[in-house]
Chain A
C-alpha cells in the first residue's frame, strides 16, 4: 500500500515513542485471517479512527490494542510494555499494560459491576460524561445513549492512557450518538489517546488519522481528507463517502468547479463565497401533495390510547401515569412507505406493536385491512398478513438451518410443503441468501443474519411490513443492501411502515409521521414535515432535519439565495448548481489555488 502514512499529526509526535505499536501482527481464527501483517503506531494524544466493513478485522484489532487478545505472530508494544515479542506473550507485561488501557464496546453490557474506584474519581467521570444526576440510578433502566456514556465513565474511572472505543454508537439514536461523540471530543481536549472503531463515516472526520481495514489488511491510511478522496476505493471497501465529499463530487458532476473535500465547513465557506449576493430568483419548490391519498388506507388508527399494564394498575397515579400512546390518529395508504420518527420513548415502537396486532389499544381502534385488532380471533389472521420486523430481528433466529428458520412462518400458516419450499426459495432469493439454505443461521455474519431474519418474515408474503429500525447496527454496505431490498418490496406493492432515527431515510419515504411523547404531532410528505416552519418544532423535540436540508439552511444563512427545500443530496446539488450557475465560473480558479 503506497498510501501516505505519515500525517501532520503523527509526524509532529514522531520523536516520541508511540504509545501503541504493532509490527507485522497476524491473528487467525481457524482458517480465517482476521489480521494479516498489520503494522501500526499510535502516538500519545492522537485520535485514530478505524473503519471497515463487517468482518474486516476492526474489532479484533481493537481487542489486540487493548490487550485482550494476543496475536499469533508479530510484535506488540502497549504503553511501553513489550507484551508480545518473538511469538510469545508476556502475561505479566499484559497485566501491567491492561491497567492503563480502557475499552468501550458495542453493547454496553458491563453495567452491573460496581465501578471499583474511589468516590471522587467516579464523580469526576460521571460529570465529564454529564451523567451525574443518575449516579444512583439502575444502569439497566437507562436509555442506550445514557448507558454508553456510563460505560465510557466506567472505562475512564480507571484513568486509562489509551481509550479504545469499539463501535460505541452503533446501536444508538442520533441524539445518543451525538452525546457520545461530544464526550470523545472532550477527551481529545485532555490529551487522552483514543482509538475509535466506527461504522459512521461522519464520526471519522474529526480524527487525526483514519485507517480502513479490509479482510485483515490496512487498505487505506491517512488524514480523513486523504482517505476519503479515494472515492472509488472507499466505496469498494463497503464504506460510503461522508456527506461533504458526496456533495462536492455531485457539484463537480454538475459542472461546478469546487475542489473535492470532506470538510463540511470548508465546503460551506467555499460555496457561500460563490453564491452570496447572487439572486437567482429561483422560487422555493412548493411542497408536493401527498401521494396515495385516493387509495383506501391499509392501516387506520383512530384516537388510540395505550399504556403498559403496570401504569394502568397503579390506580393512585392513574392520571399521572404516562400513556405510551395518547390520542394517536394515523392513516397508512396502501402501497405507501411511511416513516415514523421521534425520540427514544416517544411511542414509535409501541405504535408498531399495535399495528402488528401484538397489543390492543386501551381506547380507540386500529384497523388493518379492515380487520379490527381488538377482535381476538380476527387478530390471529393478521399475524400472517402483517410482517413484523423487530429491532435487531436476528434475535428471532432459532432453527438448525437457514431454510428451516425461514420456513417457520409459512408452515405456521398451514401451507402445503411444496408451497412452503417455494416461498422459502423466493424469500432467500429476494434477500440474496440463495445457496445458504443448509448453513446454520448462527454461522452467518451479522449482516447476513439480519437478512435471514427478514427472509423469515418475507416468506409469509405480507402485504404490510412494519419495521423497527431495520438498518440499526449494520455497516454502510449492509445498510445499502437492506435499503435496496425494502425499496424493491415497496415498488412491487408492499406497504412499509418503518421506525427510523435517520432523517435522511425519513426524507425518502412517501409520508412522515413525527411522534412526541405518545402523540402524533406532525404528518405529511417529507417536504411538508421538514418545511422551514417546522424546523424549530423538530429541534425542540430533539430531532433534526435531513442533512442536505440543514446544509441548505446554513448556506442560506451565509448569504446564499433561497435554495428551496432540498431533501436529498441530488436535489441539494441541483439547487446549489442553479444558484451558483452565473457566479461559479469566474472565481473558481482563484478559490482552488487558495485551497491547495
Chain B
C-alpha cells in the first residue's frame, strides 16, 4: 500500500473519449502533447487551458482522479516556476529587492512553462485513465505492426508491453508486503549504517525477485493453458475499427494543433 502506481489506473466511465479507438486516441493525445510546446502567447496558452478543460469534461473523469494521478509532478512544476521567476531577466523589472530581481519576462515564463508541461501531462494522464491496459496493448500492437512486416516479433513486443502494465500493480503490492515483513523483522531500509541498509534492501529485492519468478511461472502456465502460441494467428475479441467518432477526433485534433501553432 505504500507504493501507489498510477500506470494502468483505468477509470471506468462511459464517455465519448472512452469509446474512441485506442489507436486514434493515442495518436491524438500524442499530437496534442507535442502541439502544446509550440505555444508562446497568452492567447495560445488560454486555448491550451480551454481545450484541456473541454477534454476533461468530455472524458467524464473526476478532476480529483486526474489530479491524484499527476500529483507527484506538481512539485517539480512548482520548482520549475520558481526557477523561471528568479533566473530569467528579460523585460522590465517588476521588483528588485537585494539579490532577488523579478522581471516581466520571468513572471511570464513562470506561468507559461509549468502550465504547458502540466497541460501535456494531464492529456497523457487522461489517455491512461480512459484506456484499459488491454486497449493500450492493442494500440501498441498496432504501432508495432510495421515491425511484424519486417519479420520482427511485433506482436510479441506488444504482448510483453501489456503484460508489463498488468503486473506493475501486482508487483508493487508484493513489494510493499515484503517490505512490511522485513521491517517487522528489524530490517528497515531507511535506518542504520550503510551495511545494514544494503542488507535490508537485499532482503527485499531477493524476496521480490523470487516472487516475480513465481508470477512468471504461473503466467507461462496460464498462457499455455489458454493456447497462446508464439507466432500463432490470433483472433481479437473486439477487432479495432476506425469509426465516424475517430474521424471527428482526428479532425478536431488537427484543427486544434493548427490553431495552437498559428496562435504561437
- Footprint of B on A, CB under 8 Å? 63, 66, 68, 98-99, 102-103, 105-107, 109-119, 122, 136-138, 140-141, 154-155, 158, 308-310, 313-317, 353, 356, 358, 380, 383-384, 386-388, 390-391, 393, 395-399, 408-409, 412-413, 442, 456-457, 460
Instruction: List the A residue with the shortest CB-CB distance to B174.
Output: A395
**Interface hit among B52-60, B76-84, B200-208, B245-253:** B200-208
A-B pairs with lowest CB-CB distance, top 5:
A112-B166, A110-B222, A412-B186, A388-B184, A409-B185
Q: Is there contact, CB below 8 Å, between A387 and B222?
A: no
Pairs across A and B, CB under 8 Å, 28 listed: A63-B221, A68-B224, A103-B221, A109-B218, A110-B226, A112-B137, A113-B223, A119-B237, A119-B238, A158-B226, A158-B227, A309-B1, A316-B62, A317-B64, A356-B180, A358-B180, A358-B184, A380-B188, A383-B183, A384-B186, A390-B177, A390-B180, A390-B181, A391-B177, A395-B211, A396-B178, A412-B187, A456-B185
Q: Is there contact, CB below 8 Å, between A138 and B186?
A: no
Q: Given A111-B166, A317-B64, A396-B178, are A386 and B184 neighbors across the interface (CB < 8 Å)?
A: yes
Chain A residues near B236: list those with CB within 8 A.
Answer: 114, 116
Q: Is there contact, CB below 8 Å, between B225 and A395?
A: no
- Mask of B154-169 contacts with A, CB within 8 angstroms, 1/0: 0000000011011101
State the Cβ distance, B106 to closest chain A Cβ, in Å: 31
Which of B167, B207, B223, B237 is A122 in contact with, Cβ under 8 Å?
B237
B145 interface hit (Cβ, 8 Å): no
Instruction: List the A residue with the shortest CB-CB distance to B206.
Output: A398
Bound CA span A136–B183, Å: 37
How many A-B contacts if CB must be within 8 Å? 152
Q: Is there contact, CB below 8 Å, between B237 and A110?
A: no
Among A99, A107, A315, A384, the one with the most B-chain Cβ atoms within 10 Å of its Cβ is A107
Interface of chain B residues 72 through 120 with chain A (CB within 8 A): none
B8 interface hit (Cβ, 8 Å): yes
Q: Is there contact, CB below 8 Å, between A109 and B4?
A: no
Q: Given A114-B134, A115-B237, A393-B181, are A137 and B225 neighbors across the interface (CB < 8 Å)?
A: no
Bound CA span A118–B180, Å: 43
Interface range, B side: 35 or more
State the Cβ distance, B56 to closest chain A Cβ, in Å: 14
State the Cβ distance, B20 to closest chain A Cβ, in Å: 15
- Footprint of A on B, CB under 8 Å? 1, 4, 8, 10, 12, 62-64, 68, 71, 132-134, 137-138, 162-163, 165-167, 169-170, 174, 177-178, 180-188, 191, 196, 202-204, 206-207, 210-211, 215, 218-219, 221-228, 234-238
Chain B residues near A399: list those with CB within 8 A.
Answer: 203, 206
- In addition to A63-B221, A112-B165, A457-B184, 20 A-B residue pairs with Cβ atoms within 8 Å of each other are A68-B225, A110-B219, A110-B222, A112-B133, A112-B162, A114-B134, A114-B138, A116-B237, A313-B71, A316-B62, A317-B64, A356-B180, A358-B180, A383-B183, A383-B186, A388-B181, A395-B177, A396-B207, A398-B204, A408-B185
Q: Is there contact, CB below 8 Å, between A387 and B207?
A: no
Instruction: List the B residue with the shortest CB-CB distance to A396.
Output: B181
Chain B residues near A111: list those with CB within 8 A.
Answer: 166
Instruction: List the B residue with the shortest CB-CB distance to A113.
Output: B226
Bound CA span A394–B8, Å: 28
Q: Is there contact, CB below 8 Å, between B186 and A388?
A: no
Chain A residues near B137: list those with CB within 8 A.
Answer: 112, 114
Bound CA span A109–B219, Å: 6
